[in-house]
């Protein structure tokens, strides 16, 4: 597996990471825990060194699963987790990035992950009630104490990135980014490039849609969060099929699947971009890992961009209220 450095931070990870959220959260019936531990360990054995979780996934149970799965490999992997919600006894469940809450989240995550230090600690969402300078300062203190190694932000806007980075260098920014959600290209990716910050696309396969395995007839379980997303109505899925068809056409030329082309396209954008596709299946894990070996030429990228520019993606990625909470 190719290794990549997340910006100027010195944090080196596999070119393809593993998003662990779906191992017990948001995607229909919870998978078997023992099988998911085995899947995470299979990822390590196949060269994956970058694993993404969060305290809110579950809540808490995803961190516990990841901690158990990766404990035997601790020295060879990088675990990213996230803070920023008011969880635990008496918590509202809403946003809370007050410094005392950040410290408590870190202490609790250390225990669940079974680690001495958190490799990469993201603010999960920007909290409008807490100045980002206070957030960065709290993480800076945790870094000084050896409890956190690197600071990250999830779904920030460019001004938030700059203000946070001035207090504590940001190692990585995580945002949704794929061939059907390219808004970060406008200002977030350029900001990361300017400041030397790594970029970690989540949902790089469009929550599964870009694999080509989902169409307008695909059923979702009652607790699958895609049922709430405008982009996953039956009408939107039907309208968005041309994006998958484009990936399939390029894939036929490269002897690759649509998912592999979608991931290879992301890898080709910048050498410090590291996507974190999630899966609960070994064959999909292996398919995603193999995307790191698919090379797209400048002509391929121009062809993809030209074709993509002719496609209008239907449906917002989040309901309006949730969308307004992102990119602050």
Task: Look at residues 72, 66, 78 and name the one whose alpha carbon lies nearest to residue 1.
Answer: 78
> Which residues are part of the catalytic machinery?
57
DSSP letter at 223 equals: T
Contact by Cβ (8 Å): 10, 78: no
SS3 154: strand
> How many C-beta neighbours within 10 Å does residue 264 have?
25
| Kind plus residue range of the DSSP H or E element containing 146 | none
Query: Structure tokens of 127?
Result: 């909290």
Query: Structure tokens of 11?
Result: 């944090």
For residue 5, report the phi and psi dihedrals to the nearest 5 degrees. -105, 130
Task: Say which residues have a Cβ less than 8 Å from residue 82's Cβ, sequence separation at least 6.
Answer: 53, 54, 55, 56, 121, 122, 123, 124, 154
């Amino acid at each position: 597996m190719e290794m990549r450095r997340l910006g100027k931070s010195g944090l080196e990870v596999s070119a393809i990471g593993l998003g662990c959220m779906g191992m017990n959260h948001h995607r229909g019936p919870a998978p078997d825990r023992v099988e998911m531990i085995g899947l995470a360990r299979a990822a390590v054995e196949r060269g994956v060194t970058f694993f993404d979780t969060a305290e809110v996934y579950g809540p808490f149970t995803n961190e516990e699963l990841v901690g158990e799965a990766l404990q035997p490999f601790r020295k060879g992997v990088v675990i990213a987790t996230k803070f920023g919600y008011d969880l635990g006894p008496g918590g509202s469940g809403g946003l809370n990035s007050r410094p005392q809450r950040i410290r408590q989240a870190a202490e609790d995550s250390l225990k669940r992950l079974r680690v001495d230090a958190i490799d990469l600690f993201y603010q999960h969402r920007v909290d409008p009630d807490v100045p980002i300078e206070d957030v960065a300062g709290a993480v800076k203190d945790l870094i000084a104490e050896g409890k956190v190694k690197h600071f990250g932000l999830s779904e920030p806007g460019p001004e938030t990135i700059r203000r946070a980075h001035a207090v504590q260098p940001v190692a990585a920014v995580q945002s949704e980014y794929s061939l059907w959600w390219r808004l970060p290209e406008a200002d977030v990716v350029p900001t990361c490039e300017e400041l030397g910050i790594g970029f970690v696309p989540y949902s790089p396969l469009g929550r599964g849609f870009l694999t080509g395995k989902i169409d307008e007839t695909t059923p979702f379980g009652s607790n699958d969060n895609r049922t709430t997303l405008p982009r996953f109505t039956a009408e939107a899925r039907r309208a968005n099929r041309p994006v998958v068809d484009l990936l399939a056409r390029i894939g036929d030329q490269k002897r690759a699947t649509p998912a592999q082309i979608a991931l290879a396209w992301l890898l080709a954008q910048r050498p410090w971009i590291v996507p974190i596709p999630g899966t609960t299946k070994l064959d999909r894990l292996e398919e995603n890992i193999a995307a790191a070996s698919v090379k797209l030429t400048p002509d391929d990228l121009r062809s993809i961009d030209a074709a993509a520019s002719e496609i209008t993606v239907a449906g917002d990625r989040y309901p309006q209220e949730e969308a307004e909470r992102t990119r602050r």
